[in-house]
Structure 1
Amino acid sequence: MPVQGKETFASKLFDVFNYLLMIVFALLCLYPFYYVFIYSLSDPGASASGIFLWPVSPTLGSYVRIMSLGTIPAAFFVSACKTILGTVLCVYASSLFAYFMTRKEMFARTAIYRFVIASMYLHAGLIPWYLTMKTYGLKDSFLLYIIPSAVNAFFIILVKTYIESIPASLEESAEIDGAGFMKIFHAIIFPLSKPIVATVAVYSAVGLWNSWQDNFFLVNKESLQTIQLILYNYLNEASELANNAVKQTSGGMLKTDEVSPESIKMTITIISIIPIMFVYPFLQRYFVKGIMLGAVKG
């Protein structure tokens, strides 16, 4: 019999197999993104014959072509402001609302909370949504991007569940010291809810960055266009963008093969997903803890 406390050869072999399997699985998940990235950096003519691990004849022609379009920088700024302001407002408003739901003295607390949950299953549809936003005066307004997403039912449930896991004695001690409702929330509850707040921030930021339907249906002003909708339009016009790609020379405007429809599409994909990926490294250490603790009770 094997000595207790020591791993057998079979268990070690099983661990090695699991590690190798997870490494292969991770590579399979990451390689498609890596392939898109190296394709966007490769020369279109050379990449047509196939690429595998490294860019072929690296060039930034596709990125130069996309960024030279005048609408991209302005749209990127609008999307960045929309994501940052919308995320901050959503995190704060949803957390405060969730704290309301944990206070026993709140009037009709149970009924309101059930109404919030019911809103996750009921959706009136596109036309009522459009009419509502238009009636509120949000058409062709930057507020359209942040106000409708300020309170989210799913986030309220996550934060409420997490807050309920915080010892009630902390609130009671603060109340004895004379702290009011808002003081307790800002000084005790919100700081202790960092894990679930980070989780909500990630979900909210990703959703706001990727959203384009509100821009498509309710915004006609060119100054309020978001990068997602513009890049979506460019993605559909990749062939035209590639055919119109030219470079200035001493002899005039000449065609260049620095871009192709495929390279344009790959470049647009990278531009669309790179910014939001920078959010995860800063919030990753809170994310798993927050989502797990927020799902224990309910």
Structure 2
Amino acid sequence: MDWKDRLFHTINYTAFILFALICFYPFYYLFISTISRNDFVDLGKITFYPIGIHFQNYIDVFKLDRIGNAALVSLARTVLGSAITLLFSAYMAYIFTKNNLWGRKILYRITIATMYFSAGIIPKYLNIKMLGLMDSFWVYIIPGMISVYNMILIKTFIESLPPSLEESAQIDGAGYFTRFFRIVLPLSTPILATVALFAIVGNWNAFMDTKLYINDHNLFTLQYILYEYMNNASSVAATIISQSDMTLLDSMTRVTETSLKFTITMVTVIPVMCVYPFVQKFYVKGVMIGAVKG
């Protein structure tokens, strides 16, 4: 390796390391701010390392009203909603790969058009109301059963699979469902992992449907509860302080509006950060294959 190659690789590695640090630092800063002295956080003295490490902020957040029930609702919504979206979007994509489907091109174009044109919030609200989904857990599941964008990604991947695999199974007497579940789905793991990540993040972070369609407090999602607490951080912080046994000596851990907002933000991103490493190896491959043709 000559000096030009070494210089090239040095510049590349330096650039990538700097870029990685720039991407990583906001999460790192957010985390160290949640475990540092709250008075120092308010004064902006936390930069590269935590000071006065404590976990009282997390204890205070998880003691807030309705957090436990909201977390269960969000978990159920994320798991069930993502699984159903994945299954129905994948099957719809599989159907659109069949050339013998009558009106396939027209139906596909109509489906694609729904990505660009929408009736708006009011018609959707009225539709949800007429379907009897108001104040129902299923309002989190049914409207998002099929994602057109995810369907396009999966369809593109399925079209890249060798047709001979399905043809061989068809000769052996396998029907559409058998071929779909036993051949297509197992071979589509990369794109399914990618779509699953999209669905999990989308379902976990969603709160607008709760705001629009849910009045029952028992059906509030964690994101909506935290959204409310975030918007009323000062009053929530005051409530936490009034209900605690803290003295003036505990000023370093006394919750503040800033520390509460930081901690709430961290609580919302931790689950997604935990899921991503498990699908990362499939994610890149799935996105690249899904982008080859469409």
Compute the TM-score of the two structures, normalised by the length of structure 2: 0.95
Shift of 1:11: 2.1
SS in 2 for 1:55: coil
Contact (CA 8 Å) 1:87, 1:205: kept in 2 or not? Answer: yes
The one-letter amino acid paired with 2:276 is Y
Any unmatched runs of 5+ in structure 2? none
Equivalence for 1:21: 15
Shift of 1:43: 1.5
CA distance 1:248–1:283, shift in 2 (3 Å): closer
SS in 2 for 1:70: coil
Higher helix share: 2
1:260 lines up with 2:256 in the alignment: yes
1:232 lines up with 2:227 in the alignment: yes
Q: Equivalent residues in 2 for 1:1-298 (5 A)?
A: 7-49=1-43, 50-244=45-239, 245-246=241-242, 249=245, 257=251, 258-298=254-294
CA distance in 2 between counterparts of 1:211 and 1:248 reads: 31
Shift of 1:277: 1.5
Superposed CA offset, 1:7-47 (max 9, x none): 22122112101211111111111111111111111111233
Contact (CA 8 Å) 1:62, 1:263: kept in 2 or not? Answer: yes
CA distance in 1 between counterparts of 2:196 and 2:173 reads: 31
CA distance 1:104–1:272, shift in 2 (3 Å): same
SS in 1 for 2:143: coil
Contact (CA 8 Å) 1:43, 1:259: kept in 2 or not? Answer: no
CA distance in 2 between counterparts of 1:44 and 1:289 reads: 42
CA distance 1:247–1:127, shift in 2 (3 Å): closer
Superposed CA offset, 1:230-289 (max 9, x none): 10110111111222214655xxx8676321111000000000110122221111111111
Aligned length: 289
Contact (CA 8 Å) 2:42, 2:258: kept in 1 or not? Answer: no
The one-letter amino acid paired with 1:29 is C
Any unmatched runs of 5+ in structure 1? 1-6
SS in 2 for 1:148: helix
CA distance in 1 between counterparts of 2:243 and 2:232 reads: 19
Shift of 1:83: 0.6
CA distance in 2 between counterparts of 1:89 and 1:47 reads: 42
Shift of 1:160: 0.7
Compute the TM-score of the two structures, normalised by the length of structure 1: 0.93
Contact (CA 8 Å) 2:35, 2:53: kept in 1 or not? Answer: yes
Contact (CA 8 Å) 1:46, 1:57: kept in 2 or not? Answer: no
The one-letter amino acid paired with 2:233 is A
CA distance in 1 between counterparts of 2:20 and 2:73 reads: 34
Contact (CA 8 Å) 1:246, 1:254: kept in 2 or not? Answer: no
